[in-house]
């Protein structure tokens, strides 16, 4: 199963709505497919111009390693050189902190990832989880 554009847009809309409900700073939200390629992205007014790369980096590491942002951060805290090496392999595109949310279908297969940035990493992840679940999919933060 692949994430449709309609599902990706639902994820982004609901992530943004959750951010507003929680009173978060302006968010930037990306959805990547199962190959780590961009399906959809939105940057809210007032967010810094470089936020696309951060959102993408959170989601990219999740898809490419099959590890959520929290799991990647745990590994970075244990073994910083490992995540640095991973970044060498992936061209510097991995941002290993919460806000990178793995997206799974009903069978548990990873079908993509959502990346959120703008507030604290933990708040980014909470908003992103709401977005993924609103599309009827499973979120692993």
- Of 62 and 139, which CB lies nearer to a copy of itself in the complex structure? 62
Residue 33 binds a copy of itself (CB under 8 A) = yes
| Structure token pair of residue 76 | 């970075």
Return the SS3 of 44: coil
Of the residues 11, 59, 95, 125, which one makes contact with a copy of itself according to CB under 8 A: 95
Question: Any idea which residue has 């990219």 for tokens?
Answer: 60
| Structure token pair of residue 127 | 């908003």
* Candidate segments 91-99, 122-130, 131-139, binder of a copy of itself by CB under 8 A: 91-99
* Candidate segments 46-54, 123-131, 133-141, binder of a copy of itself by CB under 8 A: 46-54
Of the residues 14, 63, 114, 126, which one makes contact with a copy of itself according to CB under 8 A: 63
Contact 19, 28 (CB under 8 A): no
Round to whole Å and give the CA distance between 88 and 13.
33
Question: Taking Cα atoms as reference points, which of 92, 14, 97, 108 lies closest to residue 62?
Answer: 97
Site string for a copy of itself, 103-122 (x = CB under 8 A): ------xx------------
CA distances from 102 to 61, 111, 113, 131 (A): 10, 8, 5, 12
- Of 5 and 22, which CB lies nearer to a copy of itself in the complex structure? 5
Q: Which parts of this chain interact with a copy of itself (CB under 8 A)?
A: 4-5, 8-9, 33-50, 52-54, 56-57, 63-67, 76-77, 79-97, 109-110
């Amino acid at each position: 199963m692949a994430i449709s554009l309609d599902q990706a847009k639902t994820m982004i809309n609901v992530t943004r709505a959750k951010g507003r409900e929680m009173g978060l700073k302006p968010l930037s939200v990306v959805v990547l497919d199962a190959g780590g390629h961009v399906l959809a992205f939105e940057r809210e007014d007032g967010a810094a111009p470089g936020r696309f790369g951060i959102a993408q980096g959170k989601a990219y590491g999740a898809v490419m390693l099959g590890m959520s942002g929290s799991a990647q951060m745990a590994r970075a805290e244990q073994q910083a050189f490992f995540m640095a090496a991973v970044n060498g392999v992936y061209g510097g595109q991995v941002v290993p902190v919460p806000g990178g949310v793995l997206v799974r279908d009903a069978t548990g297969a990873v079908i993509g990832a959502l990346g959120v940035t703008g507030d604290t990493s933990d708040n980014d992840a909470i908003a992103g989880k709401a977005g993924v679940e609103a599309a009827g999919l499973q979120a692993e933060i």
